[in-house]
């Protein structure tokens, strides 16, 4: 039985398996989605299915109002957060959510990750934001939908662009990341975890470690981004 979403499911499946291969998740902790803007839907991991048992056929197709369009399984319990982000950030193509160890530790510590070095600056020029825990009435309400609101509010308050900062920590919870494709969203999850680990160690060695100075922040970002970029083959 064929599906017009076969390729989308395959993309989503591969990105989820990559999350597992990169040691960013154990058991069923985490999920990745991939969007199809033309049809106004996204593909997402089914809820509570272990990676070693996951198949491309298990992937669920959902629209931006959280209706299941195709698939016999229940979609990820975080589906409404994905839907909210796709609806409001019209240029992103994939979203990843993990409970990766160091990213969660910073989330639980409720601290932004300071920009300490060029590994960080190669990817973004701001501290990685940690959104404050949600207010009680929002938690008791439509929780996962409100998680999306929480992320957008955080970006608005801090004056951040979701195109320049493709990752966020949710206080007490863990990281979300996104990008032009599902694969890039997973890449951003891995980079975030590595930056989180480096920043943790940096503070252990020197609690007064200074943030990277502005000139170096700009230089490293411009090597990879903008019109004069000279990193990579494109």
Q: Is 67 in the site for a copy of itself (CB under 8 A)?
A: no
Looking up tokens 């591969």 gives: 14
What is the C-alpha to C-alpha distance for residues 66 and 109, in angstroms, rounded to an integer?
Answer: 31
Is 86 one of the annotated active-site residues of the chain?
no
Q: Is 2 in the site for a copy of itself (CB under 8 A)?
A: no
Residue count of the chain, please give it: 234
CB of 90 to a copy of itself, least distance (A): 27
Site string for a copy of itself, 119-158 (x = CB under 8 A): x-------------xx-x--xx--x---------------
Is 91 one of the annotated active-site residues of the chain?
no
What is the C-alpha to C-alpha distance for residues 93 and 163, in angstroms, rounded to an integer?
Answer: 12
Q: What are phi and psi of 43, to 5 degrees?
A: -100, 140
Q: Is 228 in the site for a copy of itself (CB under 8 A)?
A: no
Residues 3, 10, 14, 108: which binds a copy of itself (CB under 8 A)? 108
92: left (phi over 0), alpha (psi -120 to 50) or beta: beta
Q: Is 190 in the site for a copy of itself (CB under 8 A)?
A: yes
What end-to-end distance do the CA atoms of the chain give, in Å?
39
Of 81, 12, 8, the residue nearest 49 (C-alpha): 12
Q: Is 71 in the site for a copy of itself (CB under 8 A)?
A: no
Looking only at residues 157 through 176 of this chain, which bind a copy of itself when binding is defined by CB under 8 A?
172-174
Q: What is the DSSP string of 25-75?
A: -STT-EEEEEEETTTTEEEEPBTT--GGG--GGGPEEEETTS-EEE-SSPB
36, 58, 122, 153: the active-site residue: 122
Closer Cβ to a copy of itself, 86 or 187, answer by number: 187
Closer Cβ to a copy of itself, 2 or 72, answer by number: 72
Q: Is 232 in the site for a copy of itself (CB under 8 A)?
A: yes
Of 170, 185, 180, 84, the residue nearest 128 (C-alpha): 170
Could you list the active site residues?
Answer: 122, 231
Residues that bind a copy of itself (CB under 8 A): 26-29, 46-49, 73-74, 77, 99, 101-102, 104-111, 116-119, 133-134, 136, 139-140, 143, 172-174, 187, 190-191, 194, 197-206, 209-210, 212-213, 215-216, 219, 223, 230-233
């Amino acid at each position: 039985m064929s599906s017009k979403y076969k390729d989308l499911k395959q993309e989503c499946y591969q990105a989820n398996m990559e999350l597992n291969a990169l040691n960013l998740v154990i058991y069923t902790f985490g999920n990745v989605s991939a969007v199809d803007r033309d049809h106004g839907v996204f593909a997402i991991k089914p809820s509570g299915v272990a990676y070693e048992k996951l198949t491309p056929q298990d992937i669920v197709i959902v629209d931006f109002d959280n209706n299941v369009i195709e698939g016999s399984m229940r979609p990820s319990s975080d589906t409404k957060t994905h839907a909210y982000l796709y609806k409001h950030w019209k240029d992103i193509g994939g979203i990843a959510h993990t409970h990766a160890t160091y990213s969660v530790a910073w989330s639980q510590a409720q601290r932004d990750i300071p920009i300490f070095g060029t590994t960080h600056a190669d990817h973004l020029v701001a501290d990685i934001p940690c959104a404050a825990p949600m207010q009680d009435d929002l938690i008791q309400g439509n929780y996962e939908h409100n998680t999306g609101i929480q992320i957008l509010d955080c970006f608005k308050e801090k004056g951040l662009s979701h195109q320049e900062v493709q990752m966020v920590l949710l206080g007490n919870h863990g990281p979300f990341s996104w990008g032009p494709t599902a694969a890039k969203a997973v890449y951003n999850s891995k980079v975030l975890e590595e930056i989180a680990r480096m920043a943790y160690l940096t503070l252990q060695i020197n609690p007064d470690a200074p943030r990277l100075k502005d000139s170096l922040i700009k230089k490293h970002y411009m090597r990879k981004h903008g019109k004069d970029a000279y990193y990579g083959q494109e």
